[in-house]
Amino acid sequence: MKIYHFSKDCGNAIVNYDSFHSSYTKILKTVEPTNIGFIYIEAGGEVGLHEAPVPQLFIVTQGEGWVYGKERKKLLVKQGDGVYWKEGQEHASGSDTGLTALVIQSIQIDLPV
What pLDDT digit, counting tens, does each position of 65-111 carry? 999 999 999 999 999 999 999 999 999 999 999 999 999 999 988 77
Mean pLDDT across the chain: 88
* pLDDT reported for residue 2: 84
pTM over 0.85: no
What pLDDT digit, counting tens, does each position of 37-67 carry? 899 899 999 999 999 999 999 999 999 999 9
Query: CA-to-CA distance for 110 and 15, rounded, in angstroms?
Result: 25
* For range 11-18, the mean pLDDT: 81
DSSP-assigned letter for residue 69: -
- Topology classification of domain 2-110: Jelly Rolls (2.60.120)
